[in-house]
Amino acid sequence: MVRFARASPVLGAIILLLTVLGTVGWSLEGVLEDIPAPPSADRAVFADEPLPEHRWTGVVTVEATVRWDRDDVWVAIVDEAEVERCANEPISAFFQRCVSTDLDAVAMGEAGTGEDGLTWVVRPGVHYAGYGSVEAPPDLSMDIEWEVHARLNGAATAMLLLISVGLFAVGVLERVHSTPS
């Protein structure tokens, strides 16, 4: 117990430092280049693989931002059920299924807003990225810039601060009680 009490202020300082860094957060960014144009006018095209799942929603808040370089393209984030629904819909502009106005999107970036982009606070569950073009697309490609910013949420920050203060208190109390009178 004495060794722990002596080490507790150091542990408290480390946890406090990690809490401050976690509150500021960390970011990742990248570019996806030469993505083929959507195959038909306004029809959603989804990625083959889902986006990475966010399993730490109670501890970490994650915000994703996507920007694209074409004014005729829209971008959407949908859940797994919407991808399955669209896979079973006929591929025809006549039916107006799985187009920009029909999607049940979790987050949607309209055509013409690519410079500002789409910002999505990531929620639990399986999600897919999709995109489409408002017109019959020419045989062009597009580039997508993405950024993900993660940080500790309020509850996790409060809990870690309490642990840090508790560890400091154990260390201080041990020093006070172990000092000869």
Pairing of strands 107-109, 45-46: unpaired
Q: Is residue 167 part of a domain?
A: no
Number of domains composing the chain: 1
Residue in 75, 84, 83 with CA at minimum distance from that of residue 38: 75
Range of the domain at 111: 26-151
> What confidence category does residue 128 fall into, taking pLDDT thresholds of 50, 70 and 90?
very high
Q: Is residue 175 part of a domain?
A: no
Question: Contact at 8 Å (CB) between 111 and 72?
Answer: yes
Q: Is residue 31 part of a domain?
A: yes
Q: Over the chain, what is the mean pLDDT?
A: 84
Query: Token match 């920007």: residue?
Result: 67
**Which tens digits make up the pLDDT trace of 3-37?**
666 778 888 889 888 888 888 888 999 998 888 87
Q: Is residue 177 part of a domain?
A: no
Strand order in the sheet with 26-36: 26-36, 141-152, 60-68, 118-121
Q: Is residue 131 part of a domain?
A: yes
Q: What is the spatial distance between Cα 49 and Cα 129, in angstroms, rounded to a whole number?
A: 9
**Which tens digits make up the pLDDT trace of 66-114?**
999 888 888 999 999 999 998 887 766 566 778 888 889 999 998 888 8
Q: What is the spatial distance between Cα 181 and Cα 59, in angstroms, rounded to a whole number?
A: 44
Residues 6+ apart with CB under 8 A from 123: 54, 57, 106
* CATH code for the domain in which residue 48 is found: 2.60.120
Q: Is residue 179 part of a domain?
A: no
Q: Is residue 38 part of a domain?
A: yes
The pLDDT, as a whole number, for residue 150 is 93
- Please state the pTM of the whole predicted model: 0.76
The pLDDT, as a whole number, for residue 145 is 93
* Three-class SS state of 85: helix
Residue in 181, 180, 173, 158 with CA at minimum distance from that of residue 9: 173
Q: Is residue 75 part of a domain?
A: yes
- Worst-scoring range by mean pLDDT, 140-144, 146-150, 157-161? 140-144
The pLDDT, as a whole number, for residue 114 is 86
Q: DSSP letters along 130-164, please?
A: EEEESS---S-EEEEEEEEEEEE-HHHHHHHHHHH
